[in-house]
Amino acid sequence: MWGMYQLPMKQLKGVLFSRLILWAFLPLMLAGCRQEAPGTRAENTLDYATGFTIAKHSETFTEVIVHTPWPEASTLLKYAFIDRTATIPDSLNTDTYKAVIRTPVRSLIATSTTHIPALEALGVLDRLKGFPDTRYISSAKARSRIDNHAIKDIGQNETMNTEMVLEMHPELILGFSINEENRSYAVLERSGIPVLYNGDWVEQHPLGKAEWVKLYGVMFGKEAVADSIFNAIATQYENTRALAQKAKRTPTVYSGAMFRDIWYLPAGESWAAQFLKDANSDYLWKDTSGTGSLSLSFESVLEKAGEADVWLGAAQFTSYPQLIKANEHYARFKAFKDRRVYTYSKTTGDAGGVLFYELAPQRPDLVLKDMIHILHPELLPDYEPVFYKPLDTLED
């Protein structure tokens, strides 16, 4: 999530976990008929995602390997997805898999708001039974289920209510972690509860993040539907990217804001920088290396971006008075003076969760359209932005 590029990894754990939290799931019932032994692998081609692979061994057995569940992961996590009507063949060495998961999954706990849009798009939101700190969920459909107690709040951060999780008996926990040291998961796994790690947030291409919907397709036996969803998003994204190339000028852009004494903004090889490139903008730090964030002084950002055309992504700020209150020197930027500062923090759910954190990874096509509407308004004059809105001129 782009907002997280404005914080270093040390702060990332606290901030990201307030939206994307951890959980686990209960043993699976193994029942049913025969299944063919693993045979020829049919790879499901992934066009953009690099963090996982899918191999279909038979009609009832699919293997998923998660390569990057978190940054710099050194271990591959292998999962066997087996139709619940099939038996596990004797030839399948289950010890080589982190988990054997029966499909279609009938109940689960998700741990990141980024998991919600895929569940909703596939029509399986009713399978979601629990979520940590539900106030951060923005989806209207999910919020309705929270209000009706169909989705239960299971705690906060790393202090989740494991007893409550055990009583819920979910078939699956869709996990998130910034490293392999997660005490909550370890406790649940020692109880025989496997964890499926979702590493969509590690992807560095916007469409790579969205392509993780194909993993959900395997989980719920909806591979064709998931492929169709992703293909529609990818087509919209690529068409919009092509449209941006028709612009007659390339505005200069910068991003981020100060956190304490450091200005954090996207590095040149990050997914945030890829968005700006595809939107046909001149991101002033596009030539820097790294896929995370840059840590800069206020003075260095002002020197380079003081005359830039657009400030796109002003962290948590939603108004110009907020910026001035935080640091009066923000007013020295041309984009501030010209009132060309935009934020994603104004678009929130009913409980205050920022929609960008939840939906943007699943819908990069909408993010790109937002950007082009701002940077090249003549190309999408009638478009109504979803995430990025101009800062308010008055304090709320």
Q: Residues 199-249: pLDDT tens digits?
A: 999 999 999 999 999 999 999 999 999 999 999 999 999 999 999 999 999
Give me Rg for the CA atoms of the chain.
22
Residues 268 and 216 in one domain: no
CATH number at residue 93: 3.40.50.1980
Residue 42: predicted pLDDT: 61
Residue 280: predicted pLDDT: 98
Q: Is residue 395 one of the residues assigned to a domain?
A: no
Q: Tens digit of pLDDT for each residue in 123-181?
A: 999 999 999 999 999 999 999 999 999 999 999 766 778 889 888 989 999 998 888 87
**pTM for the complete prediction?**
0.88
Residues 36 and 179 in one domain: yes
Residue 396: predicted pLDDT: 58
Residues 274 and 386 in one domain: yes
Pick from 5-9, 16-20, 111-115: least confident: 16-20
The residue with greater pLDDT, 284 or 20, is: 284
105: closest CA among 129, 139, 141, 87?
129
Residues 273 and 337 in one domain: yes
Residue 162: predicted pLDDT: 85
Cα 318 from Cα 352, distance rounded (Å) = 13
Average pLDDT over residues 344-352: 94
Collapsed DSSP state (helix, strand, coil) of residue 125? helix
Reading across the β-sheet that carries 293-296, which strands appear in turn?
Answer: 257-259, 262-266, 293-296
Residue 258's H or E segment, with its range, is strand 257-259
Residues 229 and 255 in one domain: no
Name residue 167's amino acid.
E
Residue with tokens 């909703």: 120
CB 321 within 8 A of CB 366: no
Q: Which of 193, 210, 236 is the last residue of a domain?
A: 236
Q: Which of 236, 257, 286 is the last residue of a domain?
A: 236
Q: Tens digit of pLDDT for each residue in 44-91?
A: 679 999 999 999 999 999 999 999 999 989 889 999 999 999 999 888
342: closest CA among 375, 368, 364?
375
Q: Tens digit of pLDDT for each residue in 363-396?
A: 999 999 999 999 999 999 999 999 999 999 987 5
Number of domains observed in the structure of the chain: 2
Determine the structural domain holding residue 126 and report its residue range.
Answer: 2-236
Residue 100's H or E segment, with its range, is strand 99-103
Q: Is residue 242 one of the residues assigned to a domain?
A: no
Q: Which of 236, 266, 293 is the last residue of a domain?
A: 236
Residue 378: predicted pLDDT: 97
Residues 212 and 177 in one domain: yes
Residue with tokens 């782009």: 2
Residues 369 and 306 in one domain: yes
The residue with greater pLDDT, 38 or 301, is: 301
Mean pLDDT for all residues in the chain: 88
318: closest CA among 282, 356, 284?
356
Q: Is residue 269 one of the residues assigned to a domain?
A: yes
Residue 5: predicted pLDDT: 43
